[in-house]
Structure 1
Amino acid sequence: MKKSTLFFVISTSLAVTGTVAAHDGSSNDCNVDLQGDLEYYQGVLSVNMDDGSSMSINNQHQLTVNGETVNLDKDQQRWVSDYYDSIDTAIPMTLEIAHDGLEIASAAVGEVLGELLGEDDEFTGEFRELFDSLSDEMHSKFYDQNGNIRVDSGTFDEQSWFDNAWESEFEQRVESLVTQSMGKIMIAVGTQMLWGGGDMEAFEARMENFGEDIEHRFESSADALELKANALCEILAKADYAENHMQQSIPGLSELNLLDVNDSSLKM
């Protein structure tokens, strides 16, 4: 049996998975970095700045700096409101994109392994458990027991928008499980081919057609996810724009620089 056919199907599945992960937070032209710590819980947005200062904005768009309420003029209030509303929109939108991406990747890998090994195979079940575990971990990390969104960027491993908090772990676990079980996969596939009469060319053709079908179907889903990610990037760019004006016009916020959005496709 040629290994190339097996690797083609497996790599197709992982390519779809990687594409989904790449689309989850931003497109290749949209990079979002965090400087300082962001906390969001029960409608209150708090930012701890690098100089030790802190600010909070509640769902009534009231601003406090180091615990003191700040009186704002009309323009200042507009920037504060735009900033809050943009981040308040971006946070649940990011979680929705992350959830959708995980669902697409789970379905893609599940279909590939189900075709190769059978739906009842132990390894196929291990992958389902992996995706279920990742979904549970994501939920427990970003929601409290009552379903309220809870974000604390101080717990993230990377200084980037919080979708990356689970993305690297997701990719590493999938690739590790495939690598550890490649021998078992090859034996199972070889057995399937022998049961089919040993026609290697027919088996290869079936696998290649299946791989191409998987790629076509799930790339469409990934493309739809990318549209959502692009919309998210526009919202974060708007927040970054408002943040720059807050930094320049509101006393006590000269060190506010939580968001750094680099998107070559956007012009404010």
Structure 2
Amino acid sequence: MKKVMATTISLCALTAFNVGASQYRSNQCDINLNGEIRFAEKTLTVKTKADDEVKITDSYLVYLNAEKLLLSPEETTWIKHYYDSVEQSIPQAMTVAAEGMKIANYAVSEVLREFLGAESKVASQLEIKLDDLYGKLKDHVYQNPNSLTFDSAKLENELGIGPNFENEVDLIVSDVMENAMGEFLVQMGTSMLNGEGSMASFEQRMKKMSKDIETKVESQTKNIEQEAKKLCEMLTTIDDSESKVQTIKGLGNVDIVTKNKNA
């Protein structure tokens, strides 16, 4: 049961999904996101591992460490494709995040509450954590009504969505499951004292619930798999665009998105 819940909650990580040095992975995708990327007020800012800062405006002007670059028409086309690809990927990442939250909340409402009861404090706490995380992410991305916002450094520092996000998810899951088992054992003890159940009956109940979780959650994952595939395709397009951007003099260090060769 813990493994299934961990898998479900981990779907919430698929947005910035592993911004920083961590990785976004699925069966269709193996992408590394490195360095820092910020999209705000229609300006794309990339900070590379070499500590270069590249700014691209919505009119496709490029500044390297505050110095404007002179580009050929062909180079401007490459920059346009890169900028547009990043901008288009942000709402898709939010779509994947929304689907992940929906599945996690489904697991809580349809499964965890069924297992622990409608008044379960553990289920309520988990719902609050999930809603709070998604609410903060949504507020971040849509804070400006005229332009999308995506700041990898801010997401990591303020929301904890960064290189250690998977570890943080594991801690949340472990805490939830520990508390859930505590609630369950109290319920089991109370029922047994009242002559309403036995250890064998509770074991059967746990086995059945574990199977129910897998069945119900897996039936909800088809849509997120499709949306995650779209996001992967967008990230692949960004990687392809970056390859051309890197050929522009001074921009060889722009390598934020990298698709592994075996993906």
Q: 1:39 and 1:74 mapped to 2: Cα distance? A: 25
Q: How many Å apart are 1:243 and its aligned residue?
A: 1.1
Mean alpha-carbon deviation: is it higher for 100-109 or for 17-26? 17-26
Q: How many Å apart are 1:20 and its aligned residue?
A: 6.2
2:260 alignment partner AA: N
Q: 1:165 and 1:144 mapped to 2: Cα distance? A: 25
1:146-173 superposed Cα distances (whole Å, 9 cap, x missing partner):
5954322234659xxx676755434421
Match of 2:55 in 1: 56
Q: Structure 1 length as normaliser, TM-score?
A: 0.77
Match of 1:85 in 2: 84
Q: Structure 2 length as normaliser, TM-score?
A: 0.78
Q: Is the 8 A contact 1:30 1:264 kept in 2?
A: no
Match of 1:37 in 2: 36
2:124 alignment partner AA: G
Match of 1:185 in 2: 184
Mean alpha-carbon deviation: is it higher for 99-108 or for 55-64? 55-64
Q: 2:101 and 2:192 mapped to 1: Cα distance? A: 31
Q: 1:189 and 1:123 mapped to 2: Cα distance? A: 16
Structure 1 alignment gaps of length 5 or more: 1-8
Q: Is the 8 A contact 1:13 1:112 kept in 2?
A: no
In the superposition, relative to structure 1, how do residues 104 and 167 fare at CA in structure 2: closer, same or farther (>3 Å)?
farther
Match of 2:8 in 1: 16
Q: 1:193 and 1:138 mapped to 2: Cα distance? A: 44
- Residue 219 of structure 2 corresponds to residue 220 of structure 1: yes
Mean alpha-carbon deviation: is it higher for 101-110 or for 15-24? 15-24
Q: 1:179 and 1:207 mapped to 2: Cα distance? A: 15
Q: 2:58 and 2:201 mapped to 1: Cα distance? A: 62
Match of 1:260 in 2: 258
Match of 1:6 in 2: none
1:126 alignment partner AA: Q
Say what the alpha-carbon RMSD is for the aligned residues.
3.3
Mean alpha-carbon deviation: is it higher for 235-244 or for 70-79? 70-79
Q: Is the 8 A contact 2:8 2:104 kept in 1?
A: yes
Give the structure, 1 or 2, with the largest relative contact order (CA under 8 Å, sep 6 or more): 1
In the superposition, relative to structure 1, how do residues 11 and 42 fare at CA in structure 2: closer, same or farther (>3 Å)?
same
The alignment of Structure 1 onto Structure 2 pairs a total of residues equal to 253
Structure 2 alignment gaps of length 5 or more: 18-23
In the superposition, relative to structure 1, how do residues 229 and 45 fare at CA in structure 2: closer, same or farther (>3 Å)?
same
Aligned residues with identical type, % of pairs: 28
Q: Is the 8 A contact 1:193 1:203 kept in 2?
A: no
Q: Is the 8 A contact 1:57 1:84 kept in 2?
A: yes
SS at match of 1:221: coil
Q: 1:254 and 1:15 mapped to 2: Cα distance? A: 37
